[in-house]
Amino acid sequence: MSTDQEAPESRIDAENEGENKEPQHTEVGEHEYTIDELKQELAEARQKSHDNWDKAVRMQAEMENLKKRTRKDLEDAHKFALANFAKELLSVLDSLVLGLQAATGDSEEVQKFRIGSEMTIKQFESVFAKFNIVAIDPIGQPFNPELHQAMAMQAVEGAEPNTVVNVFQKGYMLNGRLLRPAMVVVAKAAEKPSEIDEQA
């Protein structure tokens, strides 16, 4: 008898044996959680979630601050890009003003020079106004160390102490930022005669 022709009873018995066997678990150390363990894991998961949320909020705030700082830096770069160039132009303007002050006399050549210099200075001033470069000419104003540089102090009759009585060189500001302080003479209080002088 061939294997194909085995008795049908033996084939059925073999199949039934395979069905009756319980499937064996291959997982090792399967663990049933208690309610306390589940509560603890839930609390840890909530804490991690809170920490991650906190990090995300902080990162978003840092990104916002970085955006604002970058925007401000760009605005400043646009506003003050001319600062170095403007400082160089100021020395040219100073030379023109000094040349104009030195040009004295009534000859025709001197008058032409004066007219030309005055026109050039007006052109400078109009260009400065276009780019928001403002002159600081503080005669009669209180001395401000943020905008003025005191070159000397002088007792001047009728002038309030600590006010500007003379300007050697104008100062300039670009978009509200100081380019160059005004060089000034500041009034000081008149000296009182000493007691020794009064007794003599």
pLDDT band of residue 164 (cuts 50, 70, 90) is very high
pLDDT score recorded for residue 200: 47
The first and second tokens of residue 91, run together, are 């020395």
Segment among 32-36, 64-68, 89-93 with least mean pLDDT: 32-36
SS3 165: strand
Residue with the bigger pLDDT between 172 and 192: it is 172
pLDDT score recorded for residue 9: 56
What's the average model confidence in pLDDT over 35-49? 91
pLDDT score recorded for residue 50: 92
Note the pTM of the prediction, 2 decimals.
0.59
For the domain covering 132-191, report its CATH number: 2.30.22.10
The first and second tokens of residue 62, run together, are 């840092």
Contacts of 120-123 with CB under 8 Å at 24 or more apart are: 120/96, 121/93, 121/96, 121/97
Report helix, strand and coil shares of the chain as percent, to nearest 5. Answer: 55, 20, 30
What's the average model confidence in pLDDT over 167-189? 91
pLDDT score recorded for residue 82: 83
SS3 57: helix
At 149-163, the pLDDT tens digits run 999 998 888 888 889
pLDDT score recorded for residue 1: 47
What is the chain's mean pLDDT, rounded?
Answer: 82
What's the average model confidence in pLDDT over 79-87? 84
pLDDT score recorded for residue 83: 87
At 185-198, the pLDDT tens digits run 999 877 765 555 55
pLDDT of 18 > 80? The answer is: no
At 99-140, the pLDDT tens digits run 888 888 888 888 998 999 999 999 999 999 999 999 998 998
